Structure 1
Amino acid sequence: MAAPEAATAAAAASPAAGNFAVPLEWSSTWNLFDERHTGSVSHIDLKHILRSLGRRYTEAELNDLLRPLPNPASYDAFIKLMQQPYTGPTEEDLVTALRAFDVGDSGRLKLSELITLLTTLGEKMPEADVRQLLAEVPTDEKGRVRIDELAAYLCTPVPTTTPDIIELQRQLGQAQSTAGAPVTKSI
């Protein structure tokens, strides 16, 4: 079963009773991956969904989370995962980790060294992806990035591309009433 339309409603019963409103962002993101509306997605897609919703799990953490789930995983299993308490790495955690590579204690890292770190250690990233990720990070005249600025940049949430339907309806109503056109009923 795909993300139920009723689950996207803003109001629902008490969370204590196990019923709550599923955030629109959750169900919308799910539906991007469950294109055929089967109500299930592969573990690979579920990893993408979780990460796109801001969950910064390592690959090992994701594998541990998904191991008990059938593959493909159901929408209900996804909702249960999203309901679990989550405290991902903070900006401060990232600054602390990056400072370990700041041998001169300057508060800066050479961009070239950072690229090497991200492409060779831990969960290795393809160099093209690293360069794309770091393309907007400011560097000084020596090609170094400030650790605090880098951490802030990396911890900034990715803006959602899912439109806020209520806001769009409000804007449409305003535009139509300003133009003298009849205002259509909200969905």
Structure 2
Amino acid sequence: MTTSRLLLVRHGHTDWAATRRHTGRTDVPLNAEGEARARDLAGLLPLDDVVAVWSSPLVRARRTAELAGLAVDEVLDDLVEWDYGWAEGRTTAEIREERPGWTVWDAPDPERETADEVGARVDRVIARARTLDGTVVLVAHAHLLRILGARWLGLPALVGRHLTLDPGGWALLGWERETPVIERWNVAAPG
């Protein structure tokens, strides 16, 4: 049986997140609140048996890791946020003016990545992490980490829609005997 666990850390606030704009591949930095939340993570994360720290290549994730006191071992392209295509930088409310009922989760659109395509990326990360004994820290983005939580449990990527993860929040994925479980979800530093 594997003894790997995943500690998921969502990057701190950005100006785009504050205005609820879909922030996928655009490399926006943390804002002052995001930097403060990332600093608050230092000393609060359960880092007892960390064997690796992997980060998205985007600056908001790498900076969160740095401010939280995490030394990134490897930057993984598979941890970059969902490619929203034409929805990048737009809010759901703006999009629904043109497309009533639209959601990022299941709206058909050949010009952007699907939830299942994000799921395939996180499946590779999970498979690699499960070869290690200890905790692997993943510093990345909201939608991607929500999908990763669903896939850890063996559920479809779309189940990620039911798991929220706040900026600067974290989650711990582990095991109950041979069953993958969510040990903690959406834990945030006080403040």
Q: TM-score, normalization: structure 2?
A: 0.26
State the structure with more CA Rg.
Answer: 1
Q: TM-score, normalization: structure 1?
A: 0.26
Q: Which has the higher contact order (CA 8 A, sep 6+)?
A: 2
